Amino acid sequence: MAEAVSDAVGLEPPRITTSVAGVRQAIADARVTAPGARVALVPTMGALHAGHLALVERAAELADIVVVSIFVNPLQFNDPADLERYPRDLDADVRILTGHGADLVFAPEVTELYPNGDATTRVTGGRVGGLFEGRSRPGHFDGVLTVVSKLINSVGPDVVLFGEKDAQQVYLVGRMIADLNMPVEVEVVDTVRDDDGLALSSRNRFLDSRERRAALTLPHVLEAAESASDRGIDAVLAAAQAAAMGEQLVEVDYLAVVHPVTFLPVDDDYTGKARVVIAAKVGATRLIDTAAIYLGR
């Protein structure tokens, strides 16, 4: 265990650093006494909830030093109003993290990561980056991939962790790491859900009580897809579309069944592992969800 950093673990809050130099120094200091210490990075935009804590706790199982980055990345927002209203409360986030195994919080200002106000060089998500989330939010994944590569380069982790709920993000980050030969492993952690099935999301706080009930359409669509999965893709889509209809507050943006290797919609005769992805607006709040299925026939 790397004592220099992990002294703070337990019921003490994690240490906070706001600079790239600071995070690198903290890790270098820890490695003086624990040369082989493994580092995990959990990239977040703050507004932390139990889904993030599951990532942090898994990170603490996989590594000696757990760094949680908290950075609301302007590059991945195509809607300035969405960026503006994204919740930001560093003190609350640090309180939530305390006692869950985070050693260090890296919380840079925008000027620390984008000193020129922008990134001249961007990583792009290619064709898949323009589908689904990328179609509704142009440039979103270029922003995600650019900031994730900056965070990885800043921290130098052995492993980086993401939640399954952001399935397209997970896919594209995995592609980026493979395509660019980045020396880091990816660990994907299962979606954490409320008791009624709604996936935890920082955006759930924007739902009023009617919208909160209506939002259950998303997990219901996934359940319908799963229960039709042994009857092939047409049956899955029909069941999922039927489950998506009838709730006035819900406007489905996309609903698709994709191949795990290509993240493209599966062919009509496909059987095997697949993933259902859905995004919907519930009132003014956009939510996403996903489930792995096995398509039979």
DSSP state of 206: G
51 binds ligand PAF (CB under 6 A): no
285 binds ligand PAF (CB under 6 A): no
Query: Smallest gap, in angstroms, from Cβ of residue 138 to ligand PAF?
Result: 15
As beta bridge partners, residue 192 has none
287 binds ligand PAF (CB under 6 A): no
Of 49, 52, 140, 259, the catalytic one is 52
* Span of 26-34, 39-47, 93-101, 214-222 interacting with ligand PAF by CB under 6 A: 39-47
How many residues contact ligand PAF, by CB under 6 A? 10
Q: What is the pattern of x (binds ligand PAF, CB under 6 A) and - over residues 147-166?
A: xx-----------------x
CB-CB contact of 295 with 239 (8 Å): no
Burial class (CB in 10 A: 0-12, 13-18, 19+), 134: buried
CA distance 186 to 61: 14
Q: Which residue number has the CB closest to ligand PAF?
A: 43
**95 by DSSP, 3-state: which?**
helix
Tokens of 187: 């660990």
Choosing from 45, 54, 239, 291, the residue that interacts with ligand PAF (CB under 6 A) is: 45
Three-state secondary structure along 96-125?
A: HHCCCCCCEEECCCHHHHCCCCCCCCCCCC
Query: Smallest gap, in angstroms, from Cβ of residue 212 to ligand PAF?
Result: 21
168 binds ligand PAF (CB under 6 A): no
* C-alpha separations of 120 from 116, 270, 297 in Å: 9, 41, 48
The yes-or-no answer on residue 52 being catalytic is yes
Site for ligand PAF in 221-260 (CB under 6 A): none
Q: What is the pattern of x (binds ligand PAF, CB under 6 A) and - over residues 55-94?
A: ------------------x--x------------------
CA distance 166 to 188: 10
As beta bridge partners, residue 43 has 69
Site for ligand PAF in 128-147 (CB under 6 A): 144, 147
| Residues tagged active-site | 52
